[in-house]
Amino acid sequence: MPQTLIQPEFKVKIDYDKCHKCGRCVQQCGWNVYSFNERPIPDDAKCRACHRCVTYCPARCITIEKNDLAFRDNDGWGPALRKSVWRQAETGGVMLTGMGNDKPYVNIFDHLVLDACQVTNPSIDPLREPMELRTYLGRKPDAVAVEPDGKGGFRLAEELAADGWLDKNIQVDTPVIFSPMSYGSVSLNVHRSLAMAAERLGTLMNTGEGGLHADLYPYADHVIVQVASGRFGVDPEYLSRGAAVEIKVGQGAKPGIGGHLPGEKINREVSETRMIPQGTDAISPAPHHDIYSIEDLRQLIYSIKEATDYKPVGVKIAAVHNVAAIASGIVRAGADYVYLDGFRGGTGAAPQIIRDHIGLPIEIAVAVVDQRLRDEGIRHQASIVAAGSIRSSADLAKIIALGADVAAIGSAALMALGCHLCQGCHTGSCSWGLTTQKPELTRRVDPEWGAERLVNLVSAWSHELQEILGALGVNAVESLRGSRERLRAIGLDEQTCKILGVKPAGM
Amino acid sequence: MRYEPLLERMPTTRMPAFTDREAAFGLERPSYAAEAPFKIHGGCGLTGICDESGALMSGEVAIRAMAVQRDRGNGLGGGYAGYGIYPELPDHFCFHMMYHDTRAKEDAEAVFDSYFQVDLAEPMPIRRVKGIADAPILWRYFLEPDPHKLEDSDMSAEDFVVHAVMLINSTIEGAFVASSGKNMGAFKGVGFPEEIGHYYLLEEYEGHTWVGHNRFPTNTPGWWGGAHPFTLLDWSIVHNGEISSYGINSRYLEQFGYKCTLGTDTEVAAYLFDLMLRRHKLPIELACKALASPLWSEIDRMPEDEQALMRSLRAVYGPGMLNGPFAIVLGFNGGMVALNDRIKLRPLVAARQGSIVMVASEESAIREVLENPDIVWAPKAGEPVIARIEGFEQPIHGGLHLPAEEVSCAVTGTAEVCETVGVS
Amino acid sequence: MAVTSETRKPLEGYVQADPEVTIDGNVATIDARGIYYKQLNEAVRRCLAEGVDKVVLQDVNGQRYIGTGIRGADKHIEVFGTAGQDMAMFMDGPTVEVFGNAQDGVGNTMNAGKVIVHGDAGDVLGYGMRGGTLLVRGDVGYRVGIHMKAYEGHVPVMVCGGKARDFFGEYMAGGTLVLLGMGSNSDRPLVGGYLGTGMHGGVIYLRGEVEPWQCGKEVGIFEADEDDLARLRPVLEEYCEAFGVELAEVLSVPFTKLLPTSHRPYGKLYTYV
């Protein structure tokens, strides 16, 4: 009987006339595609098209092609579905994958266009005139109360000044932060790169649920520390180090699903950071077992606040059908920000069936949450963080116009560090040294190099956002935030437009 | 006094018949909202002049100031508000009314008769002016709330009046309240401002504060009510420029219950002032700092106390910040405040001559009016010019307690707003 | 009452009628009071075409486009009153002297000639000015000297005697821009923020000092040295002569020089698709 019915997805072609026979490809590939017998011999079946070997081949003699085997046409049974059936018939396993939903759902971002000024109001030159991206994340007072300062002017009223609300807001210099990716799912060098970049950019990185490695303590003012259902690495010290604490309820790539970091990834340092024994599996339960209802969330939010002298506490949820009501409850429970993760968001590992079929697009989630919070008059009580496939500064501007305060980027940040979206994060063999703990792979990311690339990416997006603001004739990002009047839809149905609060183009 | 001969006819609801335009032309009766189904774009010119001593100036000053700025408009809207202009009846609420036809007038007067004591009702004095056509029927009424009705309503007099404005604007088709404050009035219409000024015989009125506006809409206005100033009780707002942040400003206000339906920046500015000055009781200076916020880089250089205040103002009222080019004048019985955007994208010139403070889009307007100003200056971007009549009351509109929905309904009278408060 | 009440002018603001013109030899005097800009500027152009060298405009108040688009190096216009928007725009050669204040947009895209303003001037002064000289005795507004440029023989010079607001010398690409901070009635700083932002050519001289935060990131701040002062001297002499100011007083305070650090300040901003 054949071992498998599944044929390789890719073909690795080597032009042996050009090949130096240097073995670099053998050494670079994390997937063990190559063996070496006088020359490199590829095993196509192992290739994930991550292009590590292609990038490092000094002779530029490797190409990766699609193995485009013909299948008899069947609109219902595409090749991917047939392969899944074969794979599961062979193994009896749940299909596991990495990164985000890759199915061709309508991408709303690509059906939204932005406005610009012509004549009746001027566009503004973002290079030479002020163009402010500074954003405060957190709860704002209902109103500003003032009192005379005794010198003919005014100062904050005593109760407001004493409340110190401003100190409980986090200032970011650009409305882009890094999404939570745990140490364990990604390497320490990735964490170092993110932390250094966050500090230089005046923004935030997020530990994910894997604890905060001691190397990152100097960057703590730019780190959000996460508390998830596994409570890995959570102790008072950890909570007190972050700029904010985030309770992770769910993740866009796998709403309602817990996590599982296999024991092979739990080396000494991961074990110390997560505060669990080396080599044991790190299991995050699907729910927090101290949150079975909204009042329990409130209880947890306030226990964290009590433990941290009232630091900002955010709550991250996956965008699901009832996201507006859930977010409203979260705000009323006392959260300082709500982190919404759309269904295209990435993951280190998720069942494919969950990743590809559960949740909502982030565009819809932000639109309905922002509107609901406004309808209830509590929009100012919490900021909205949006994530789940923010792919460019255009997506960034559009999600802000729909109502987000800041966007979080994870996949884009990993791509800045070399990720090619090969969806092999769960294997622990990432050739780019990102989603792995193998020392020979993790050292491939030099944190200084990584930080520079992340700073470049976010700076470039920030410049582009400034260009967009300038074209819109506003010079502060708060004038775009929630300004759906500056968006129009092309090719979206009436109901979707209504839900987004966006008029069709031409209106 | 000008309207003396008419005093003996008060109170009255039976007025001479006016041309029924609907019958004559078969026109639809317009509602105020017909002005702007979509956002209106446009530029403009403006002026404001206030004698802080309370001394009165002829309305001629406002006409003159606007006339030299004629080229800033396109003849599709001009208007004024004058304060202190009715010293004979200073404690009466004065309703300046626009009617599309006599039926609208009768219906509105029925409202006046049932809720108010009408001490004087008369046609607005007007003269024929070349270039002014299609004027609505214009009347004014000096009213006091019926004491019994007021007591029954359990409202302040201001609330009572705004309620009546709401009722008329929303339920009486073809009737519109141009202004409803005490000892003040708005005079506006479709035409160049100097023509509108002549039309209303503005030079015969005397006021301590005047604001004027010249409009350059890029669409075709359908109704006189759409001209500036916008009013709410004794407030009047004129505005030049287009606020690029309209989208978020209106959604921000909706969070507090205001309904922005006209698509005009002026409406947004009026509600923002109402929110900050009346409901949040911010001093005018600080409300202006919220509307035209200092840059973060400026805030970062301020002394610590001021930083905390400015940071708070900006962080809390950021969605209400007016972003984009504007110059704006708010007139009220206590004076006026003029403000322009934080990077000076629209012009504003100010001057002082003794107790008189004046602002305009162009210096020529000031030179036209003030014989010998002590100082003429261009205000710093985002720095308000404030003129206060001695002894004016704060908070402004302190007697108004109505919720935002009702304020919006009173200002716009559109069905989609008023239905939410159960009026129409 | 302190405000104008005499009916000296029509309430219409301006009337569309030809102004009264008095010609005395080479000099034409026009009573501009209440005359619409179109008729006023037509009269000016007519006088110049008829060979008059100097046109004196009396009682100007806000009329736009005075001296706009006129040519000829030996022509003079004197303006008494407040000059309106876009004065001397596209002007190519003549001299316009204002005894009073000027509103916004003076010297917009001016090619050659000279503008002298004895009072203050408004916003966007000398926008895109390619040549000629612009001298202002008093304060100036926002975005002054914005995108001044130089081209071959054309090198524009602007001297502002008073103080300036934000965006002074924004996008400056050539020429000389001078700010003296003398004779201002206001107690505000010499100049606002965003000074020389986007500057990529030309030179700015300030009489006095600026803080680094006031300047765009594209400029370097230097002390003006002997060579600079030698270069400045003829410009300042022209200013002093125009307004009767002592050169020694102008030179009594050290000057600061601002230069662009790059002719291509945004060379690294872009990447290619």
Q: How many CB pairs under 8 A join A and C?
A: 20
What confidence category does residue B221 fall into, taking pLDDT thresholds of 50, 70 and 90? low
> Per DSSP, which regions of A124-169 are E strands?
135-137, 146-148, 154-156
Q: Give the model's pLDDT for residue C36.
A: 93
What type of residue sits at position B171?
Answer: T
How large a percentage of chain B has pLDDT more than 70?
Answer: 85
B204 touches chain C (CB under 8 A): no
What confidence category does residue B29 fall into, taking pLDDT thresholds of 50, 70 and 90? very low
Q: Give the model's pLDDT for residue A35.
A: 96
A127–C266 CB contact, under 8 Å: yes
- For residues B386-410, give the mean pLDDT: 81
A480 interaction partners in chain B (CB closer than 8 Å): 245, 248
Distance from CA of B205 to the nearest CA of C (A): 13
- B252 → chain A, closest CA residue: A374
Strand partners, B78: B189, B214
Mutate to test the interface with A, among B251, B258, B278, B302 (most CBs of A within 10 A): B251
A401 interaction partners in chain B (CB closer than 8 Å): 247
Mutate to test the interface with C, among A125, A128, A453 (most CBs of C within 10 A): A128
Which of C273 and C232 is assigned the larger pLDDT?
C232
Distance from CA of B283 to the nearest CA of A (A): 8
B301–C3 CB contact, under 8 Å: no
In a domain, B27, yes or no: no
- B192 → chain C, closest CA residue: C12
DSSP H or E stretch at residue A465:
helix A447-472
Taking the CA of residue A168 as centre, how many other CA atoms within 13 Å lie in the half-sphere pointing to its CB? Answer: 25
What does the alpha-carbon distance between residue B143 and residue B137 come to, in Å, rounded to a whole number?
Answer: 19
Q: In the numeric block, which tokens belong to residue B63? A: 């006409």
What does the alpha-carbon distance between residue A244 and residue A335 come to, in Å, rounded to a whole number?
Answer: 11
Taking the CA of residue B50 as centre, how many other CA atoms within 13 Å lie in the half-sphere pointing to its CB? Answer: 25
In a domain, B234, yes or no: yes
Is 60 exceeded by the pLDDT of residue B94? yes
What does the alpha-carbon distance between residue B21 and residue B211 come to, in Å, rounded to a whole number?
Answer: 31
Q: Give the model's pLDDT for residue C153.
A: 83
Q: How many CB pairs under 8 A join A and B?
A: 130
Chains touching chain B, criterion 3+ CB pairs below 8 Å: A, C
Distance from CA of C197 to the nearest CA of A (A): 5
Distance from CA of B326 to the nearest CA of C (A): 15
Phi, psi of C175, deg, nearest 5 = 85, -175
Phi, psi of A54, deg, nearest 5 = -60, -45
Residue pLDDT, tens place only, C22-44: 999 999 999 999 999 999 999 99
Is 50 exceeded by the pLDDT of residue A140? yes
Q: Dmax of chain B from CA atoms?
A: 67
List all residues 6 or more positions away from C164 whose beta carbon is below 8 Å from its beta carbon: C139, C140, C141, C144, C179, C190, C191, C192
A130 interaction partners in chain B (CB closer than 8 Å): 295, 297, 343
A6 touches chain B (CB under 8 A): no
What confidence category does residue B23 fall into, taking pLDDT thresholds of 50, 70 and 90? very low
Q: Give the model's pLDDT for residue B98.
A: 93
A448 touches chain B (CB under 8 A): no
B379 interaction partners in chain C (CB closer than 8 Å): none
Q: Give the model's pLDDT for residue B218.
A: 64
Residues 189 to 218 of C: which have CB under 8 A from any A CB? 194, 197-198, 216
What does the alpha-carbon distance between residue A186 and residue B72 come to, in Å, rounded to a whole number?
Answer: 62
- For residues A320-331, give the mean pLDDT: 96
Residue pLDDT, tens place only, A142-193: 999 999 999 889 999 998 888 888 888 999 999 999 999 999 999 999 999 9
Distance from CA of B374 to the nearest CA of C (A): 11
Q: Give the model's pLDDT for residue B38.
A: 41
Q: Give the model's pLDDT for residue B403.
A: 83
Q: Give the model's pLDDT for residue B418.
A: 72
Report yes or no on whether pTM surpasses 0.80: yes
What confidence category does residue C2 fall into, taking pLDDT thresholds of 50, 70 and 90? very low
What does the alpha-carbon distance between residue B412 and residue B403 come to, in Å, rounded to a whole number?
Answer: 15
Which of A39 and B39 is assigned the larger pLDDT?
A39
In a domain, B210, yes or no: yes
- DSSP state letters, A14-62: E-TTT-----HHHHH-TT--EEESSSEEE-GGG-----HHHHH-TT--E
Q: Dmax of chain A from CA atoms?
A: 92
Give the range of the structural domain holding residue B229, as residue numbers without chain letter.
40-421
What confidence category does residue B3 fall into, taking pLDDT thresholds of 50, 70 and 90? very low
C271 touches chain A (CB under 8 A): yes
How large a percentage of chain A has pLDDT more than 70?
Answer: 100
What confidence category does residue B250 fall into, taking pLDDT thresholds of 50, 70 and 90? very high
A483–B248 CB contact, under 8 Å: yes
A144–B293 CB contact, under 8 Å: no
Domain ranges of chain C: 120-260
What confidence category does residue B132 fall into, taking pLDDT thresholds of 50, 70 and 90? confident
What does the alpha-carbon distance between residue B390 and residue B148 come to, in Å, rounded to a whole number?
Answer: 34
Is 80 exceeded by the pLDDT of residue A51? yes
Closest residue to B255, CB basis, from A153, A374, A480: A374
- What does each C-alpha distance from B330 to B55, B236, B290, B399 come to in angstroms? 19, 6, 15, 18
List all residues 6 or more positions away from C224 whose beta carbon is below 8 Å from its beta carbon: C205, C232, C254, C255, C256, C257
C167–A129 CB contact, under 8 Å: yes
> Catalytic residue at B44?
yes
How large a percentage of chain A has pLDDT more than 90?
Answer: 81
Is 50 exceeded by the pLDDT of residue A204? yes
Q: Give the model's pLDDT for residue B18.
A: 33
Q: What is the mean pLDDT of chain A?
A: 94
What does the alpha-carbon distance between residue B163 and residue B154 come to, in Å, rounded to a whole number?
Answer: 12
> Per DSSP, which regions of A403-471 are E strands?
406-409
Q: Give the model's pLDDT for residue B161.
A: 92
C167–A128 CB contact, under 8 Å: yes
Q: Give the model's pLDDT for residue A171.
A: 96
Which of B178 and B226 is assigned the larger pLDDT?
B178
Is 90 exceeded by the pLDDT of residue C60? yes
In a domain, B23, yes or no: no
Q: Give the model's pLDDT for residue A286.
A: 86
What does the alpha-carbon distance between residue B159 and residue B114 come to, in Å, rounded to a whole number?
Answer: 16
Question: Could you give the number of structural domains in chain B?
Answer: 1
Is 70 exceeded by the pLDDT of residue B116? yes
Is 70 exceeded by the pLDDT of residue A85? yes
How large a percentage of chain C has pLDDT more than 70?
Answer: 96
Q: Give the model's pLDDT for residue B368.
A: 93
Q: In the numeric block, which tokens belong to residue A378? A: 């509590």
Q: In the numeric block, which tokens belong to residue C207? A: 């009489």
B1 touches chain C (CB under 8 A): no
Query: Which 8-state DSSP code applies to residue B379?
Result: P
Closest residue to B347, CB basis, from C5, C122, C193: C122
What confidence category does residue B172 fall into, taking pLDDT thresholds of 50, 70 and 90? confident
Which of C184 and A199 is assigned the larger pLDDT?
A199
Handedness of CA B84, B85, B89, B92 (dihedral sign): negative
Residue pLDDT, tens place only, A209-254: 989 999 999 999 999 999 998 888 898 889 999 999 999 999 999 9
A158 touches chain C (CB under 8 A): no
Q: Give the model's pLDDT for residue B422.
A: 63
- DSSP state letters, C162-212: S---TTTTTT-EEEEEEE---S-S--S-SS-SSBTTT--EEEEEEES---G
Which class for A186: exposed (0-12), middle (13-18), buried (19 or more C-beta within 10 A)?
buried
How large a percentage of chain B has pLDDT more than 90?
Answer: 57
Q: Give the model's pLDDT for residue B22.
A: 36
What type of residue sits at position B350?
Answer: A
In a domain, B18, yes or no: no
What does the alpha-carbon distance between residue A394 and residue A111 come to, in Å, rounded to a whole number?
Answer: 12
Residue pLDDT, tens place only, C130-153: 999 999 999 999 999 999 998 888
Q: Give the model's pLDDT for residue B220.
A: 52
Residue pLDDT, tens place only, C183-219: 787 788 999 999 999 898 999 999 999 999 999 988 9
Please report the domains of chain A, with CATH numbers, ordered by start residue: 10-92 (3.30.70.20), 135-504 (3.20.20.70)
In a domain, B390, yes or no: yes
A467 touches chain C (CB under 8 A): no
Q: Give the model's pLDDT for residue B388.
A: 93
List all residues 6 or more positions away from B303 whose beta carbon is below 8 Å from its beta carbon: none
Is 90 exceeded by the pLDDT of residue B401? no
Q: What is the mean pLDDT of chain B?
A: 84
Distance from CA of A198 to the nearest CA of B (A): 20
Is 80 exceeded by the pLDDT of residue B7? no
Is 70 exceeded by the pLDDT of residue A17? yes
B57–C139 CB contact, under 8 Å: no
Q: Give the model's pLDDT for residue C151.
A: 86
- Asked which of A72-81, A358-367, B235-244 is least confident by mean pLDDT, the reply is B235-244
In a domain, B19, yes or no: no
Residues 124 to 143 of A: which have CB under 8 A from any C CB? 125, 127-130
Is 90 exceeded by the pLDDT of residue B88? yes
Residue pLDDT, tens place only, B290-307: 999 999 999 999 999 899
What does the alpha-carbon distance between residue A180 and residue C4 come to, in Å, rounded to a whole number?
Answer: 69
Closest residue to B308, CB basis, from A166, A169, A380: A166
Which three-class secondary structure state does DSSP give residue B92?
coil
Which of B219 and A300 is assigned the larger pLDDT?
A300
- For residues B337-366, give the mean pLDDT: 94
- For residues C87-103, give the mean pLDDT: 95
Q: Give the model's pLDDT for residue C6.
A: 46
Question: Are A180 and A284 contacting, i.e. CB atoms less than 8 angstroms apart?
Answer: no
What confidence category does residue C11 fall into, taking pLDDT thresholds of 50, 70 and 90? low
- Asked which of A371-380, B8-17, B101-110, C59-68 is least confident by mean pLDDT, the reply is B8-17
C141–B378 CB contact, under 8 Å: yes
Distance from CA of C51 to the nearest CA of B (A): 30
Closest residue to A128, CB basis, from C171, C269, C271: C171
Query: Which 8-state DSSP code applies to residue B173?
Result: T
Query: Which 8-state DSSP code applies to residue A186?
Result: B
Q: What is the mean pLDDT of chain C?
A: 91
Question: Rg of chain C over CA atoms, in angstroms?
Answer: 20
B63 touches chain C (CB under 8 A): yes
CATH superfamily of this structure's domain C120-260: Glutamate synthase, alpha subunit, C-terminal domain (2.160.20.60)
Is 60 exceeded by the pLDDT of residue C7? no
In this structure, what CATH number is given to the domain that contains residue B411? Answer: 3.60.20.10
